[in-house]
Amino acid sequence: MSIVTRLFTWIGAAASGAFAWKLLQPEFIQRSPSRFLAFAEKGRDGRLPVALITGASAGIGAAFARQLARAGYDLVLVARRKDRLTALADSLQQQHAIEAHVLAADLADSDDIERVADVIADVSEAGRLDLLINNAGFGTVGKYADLPFQSQLDMLHVHVTTTMRLTQAALPGMLRRRRGGIINVASTAGWYPLAGNATYSATKRYLINFSEALQAELDGSGVCVQALCPGFTCSEFHDREPYRVSGFRREQLPAFVWQTAEEVVAASLNALGREVVCIPGVHNRFIALVGNFAPRALVNAAWRRISPV
């Protein structure tokens, strides 16, 4: 083996080891709270900062709402189900003495995307938007050739187009204030081209790459971006019709792979401003690590053994 070959082998091994340690480091290491949770700093007008959360009616989105209300943020809650949003907003206002506004919108619809973008631009221009959580999303199960094209196009709008548009609306005001955070909820699925979830895994990969590139552009601006990549999370996501029809059951997977929405959100908020890609849970970091280095043929063969399609 030549000296050059050995050198590159050593460099590759060192880089792989550093990457593995980064992903698998224990989460019990004590860290000071993220600056976004240390205090909710009031503006010059004495009003609280605002966090806008899409997909806020359940699951991870609702957990973001609960934790940010507890930290002292006013909220704008966005989702399709207005009754669920209203109930959550009323509860949080009573518990935490904050303002919570409801905005019913279907983010697969271009007009509704623009309505939400206009609200974001107004709040951002007013200097109050501290956090934008692009959380709205859904999944389908089935071979791409068999799925209705509209459902795949809707997914592209909700995951990708909405994230792009709302982020663009939020940035000017954040950049002027030199303060702000944007969390794009991706998935560990972004590391895997999953048969039966082709569009889902592709859009989640987009969110990871988009977030990393955007953070590189924003370095030094005071605005930070995060791609949050949860794995299996206890929420309504896997209870929806596509997964029920496919025969998917939670008990098919070992209990240790499941996290609560509260655990995912706590990890995300604590890492905001520190980690561009946040992967809650050591087991999920291992999954991402395997996705980076394992041969695709091996990954696909393993996935076919547990895939519902």
Residue 271, Cβ density class (10 Å: 0-12 exposed, 13-18 middle, ≥19 buried): buried
Q: What is the pLDDT along the chain (309 residues), one digit of tens a residue?
A: 555 445 445 544 444 554 554 555 544 444 555 666 654 555 556 679 999 999 999 999 999 999 999 999 999 999 999 999 999 999 999 999 999 999 999 999 999 999 999 999 999 999 999 999 999 999 898 999 999 999 999 999 999 999 999 999 999 999 999 999 999 999 998 888 888 889 999 999 999 999 999 999 999 999 999 999 998 776 655 556 555 555 555 556 556 666 799 999 999 999 999 999 999 988 778 877 776 666 666 666 655 555 555
Residue 15 within any structural domain of the chain: no
pLDDT digits (tens, 9 = 90+) for 81-138: 999 999 999 999 999 999 999 999 999 999 999 999 999 999 999 999 999 999 999 9
Given this model, what pLDDT does residue 252 score?
63
Residue 99 within any structural domain of the chain: yes
Find residue 259's DSSP bridge partners: 233
**Active-site residue, from 144, 200, 206, 243:** 200
Q: What is the CATH number of the domain that holds 165?
A: 3.40.50.720
Closest CA to 44 of 177, 220, 169, 140: 177
- Contact (Cβ atoms closer than 8 angstroms) between residue 307 and residue 194: yes
Residue 28 within any structural domain of the chain: no
Helix (H) or strand (E) holding 104: strand 100-104
Given this model, what pLDDT does residue 15 score?
46
Backbone φ/ψ region at 15: left (φ over 0), alpha (ψ -120 to 50), beta:
alpha
Closest CA to 36 of 275, 280, 284: 275
* Number of domains composing the chain: 1
Domain around 112: 33-306
Backbone φ/ψ region at 103: left (φ over 0), alpha (ψ -120 to 50), beta:
beta
Residue 200 within any structural domain of the chain: yes
Given this model, what pLDDT does residue 282 score?
82
Residue 21 within any structural domain of the chain: no
Given this model, what pLDDT does residue 7 score?
46
Residue 283 within any structural domain of the chain: yes
Residue 23 within any structural domain of the chain: no
DSSP-derived letter for residue 74 is E
Residue 22 within any structural domain of the chain: no
Annotation says 206 is catalytic: no
How far from each other are the two terminal CA atoms of the chain, in whole angstroms? 46
Find residue 278's DSSP bridge partners: 228
